Amino acid sequence: MTLCTPGPDGMTGHDDLGTMSAWYVFSSLGLCPTMSGGDFLALSSPRFASAVVRIGHYGTRRGVSLNGRDVARTWLGRGRIAHGRVIAHRLSTEPSSWGTSPGAEPPSVGGAHAH
């Protein structure tokens, strides 16, 4: 088997039509679309102190609080950020209990609602 072919049997991530690049950008922002068709984004630690993301004709700043309110879950429904919101990540050098309570985990596909 040849690893670097343009077909589906080639090296993983080699011919992905930009999927790995998009994943890196989302991941660097502390956001992660976990699966195709999922209507939510998982939250993680961002790589940058701040970033500006423009979604369509809506412009907004992105910085885990949402518009100054704490987010207890490890995901956000797309409806909560589609028209612009401020997401602020607060990080520490020590682990915390954020996102560890029952129900904080991302939902199964089709289970997310724009709460």
Query: What's the confidence (pLDDT) of residue 56?
Result: 55
For residue 40, the enclosing domain spans 20-88
pTM > 0.85: yes or no: no
Residue 52 lies in a domain: yes
Answer whether 29's CB lies under 8 Å from 62's CB: yes
> 14 or 104: which carries more pLDDT confidence?
104
DSSP 51-88: EEEEETTEEEEE--EETTEE--SSEEEHHHHTT---EE
Residue 25 lies in a domain: yes
For the domain that residue 76 is a member of, what is the CATH number? Answer: 3.30.2080.10
- Other Cβ atoms less than 10 A from the Cβ of 69: the count is 8
Give the chain's domain count: 1
Q: What is the pLDDT of residues 92-113, one digit of tens each?
A: 778 888 888 998 988 887 655 5
Q: What is the pLDDT of residues 28-61, one digit of tens each?
A: 999 888 777 778 888 988 998 888 776 655 433 3
